[in-house]
Amino acid sequence: MKRAVSTHVFLHQRLHTGHLDALKSAGAQSIEIFAARHHFDYTDRSAVKEIATWFRDNGLRATLHQPLFDPSTQWSRHVAPTINLIDVEKSRRIDAMDEVKRALEAAEQIDIDHIVLHLGTSSDTWSERTLDHSLTAIEHVKAFAHPLMCKTLVETLHNDVTTPEHLLEILRVGHFSTVGICLDLGHVHLPGSTGVKTAFELLSDRILELHIHDNAGEHDEHLWPGEGTIDWQQVRDGIAALKQPPVGVLEIAYDPELSMNTVTTKAATAFQLLNV
């Protein structure tokens, strides 16, 4: 598995090269940039250039998490995600797609291997409508990302649209042979989800990336591995069974009490737990 860490752990702060240094020091071979304008302003070409220069100088690759938050609002932890690629309102779907494409333009300067997409919010359910909107969203992002040498991935969320079974149906109906899946371990450990072992078995070699975090099986807490109730031996077994080693991204919740040095130490410990 390729070791990676998400800048989500620094989400409330403006992303700078010191953050990236801390993640590299933990042993990260790739870094997932969480695309939120207050954190990483992908519309500021000088800011993107600074981050791109760091990646080139340090020889690391990047992945990109799509924007989740409406940039017209002042983001805080109390604001629910407002960008929805499969929203029932066409105008909102268009706005969401435009924002995702703005973020993806960062790949013109940064070597971004994957973009991870969210299809829907917790309230979205599986239907012909959500299937159609999902197909359209993936097709548009894939077409935009391909010339940038960036592969499109869809994430297992805690909603009915992105269960492992439904994601496979979306990829089958859309003939998306080059679109992969980001298996979020925390999400499939929540009530009503398939569980980690079954998710690995169902998604198998469509898995190109993992979002690695823990919880107690009740809420999406984004804890460090080992701080919740996920069976990490099942995770290690699932990774070992994959034909293609995935990018394994530690996607940990922001904690203002965590210093960059502590993040470095905790990330290194998490990689040891995963035997990578």
Give the 3-state secondary structure of 114-158: EEEECCCCCCCCCCHHHHHHHHHHHHHHHHHHHHHCCEEEEECCC
Given pLDDT bands bounded at 50, 70 and 90, which one contains residue 45?
very high
Q: Is the pLDDT of residue 75 over 80?
A: no
Average pLDDT score over residue span 32-45 = 96
Closest CA to 196 of 224, 156, 248: 156
Strands 151-155 and 180-184: parallel
- Give the chain's domains with CATH numbers: 2-273 (3.20.20.150)
175's enclosing H/E stretch is none
List pLDDT tens digits, range 121-154.
Answer: 999 999 999 999 999 999 999 999 999 999 999 9
The answer to whether residue 77 scores a pLDDT higher than 60 is no
Element (H, E) at 182: strand 180-184
Instruction: Give the other-Cβ count within 10 Å of 76's Cβ.
Output: 9
- Residue 239 CA, chain-centre distance (Å), reads 17
CB 156 within 8 A of CB 167: yes
Question: Cα–Cα–Cα angle for 238, 240, 243, nearest 5°?
Answer: 100
- Quick: pLDDT tens for 197-254: 999 999 999 999 999 999 999 999 999 999 999 999 999 999 999 999 999 999 999 9
Give CA 246 to chain center in angstroms.
13
3-state DSSP assignment of residue 190: coil
* 235 burial type by CB count under 10 A (0-12 exposed, 13-18 middle, 19+ buried): buried
The predicted-structure confidence for 100-112, as pLDDT tens digits, reads as follows 999 999 999 999 9
Q: For residue 79, what pLDDT is reported?
A: 52
Of 111, 114, 137, the closest CA to residue 124 belongs to: 137
Contact 200, 186 (CB under 8 A): no
- Residue 99 pLDDT class (50, 70, 90 cuts): very high
What torsion, rounded to 10 degrees, do the Cα atoms 168, 123, 40, 252 define?
-80
Q: Using 50, 70 and 90 to split pLDDT, how confident is the model at 71?
A: confident
Rounded to the nearest 10 degrees, how much is the dihedral formed by the CA atoms of 154, 15, 47, 143?
A: 0
Binned at pLDDT 50, 70 and 90, residue 69 comes out as: confident
Tell me the C-alpha distance between 88 and 83, whole Å. Answer: 12
Q: Which residue has the higher pLDDT, 76 or 108?
A: 108
pLDDT of residue 82: 80
- Residue 219 and residue 46: Cα distance in Å, rounded? 38
Paired with 180 in beta bridges are 153
Arithmetic mean of pLDDT over the chain: 95
Q: Cα dihedral sign for 92, 49, 271, 235? A: positive
Q: Average the pLDDT over 180-186 and give the result.
A: 98
Give the confidence band of 74 by pLDDT, cuts at 50, 70, 90.
Answer: low
pLDDT band at 80 (very low <50, low <70, confident <90, very high): low
For residue range 225-241, what is the model confidence (pLDDT) as tens digits?
999 999 999 999 999 99
Long-range (24+ apart) CB contacts under 8 A made by 79-85 are 80/121, 81/118, 81/121, 84/118, 84/120, 84/121, 84/124, 85/117, 85/118, 85/119, 85/120, 85/133, 85/134, 85/137
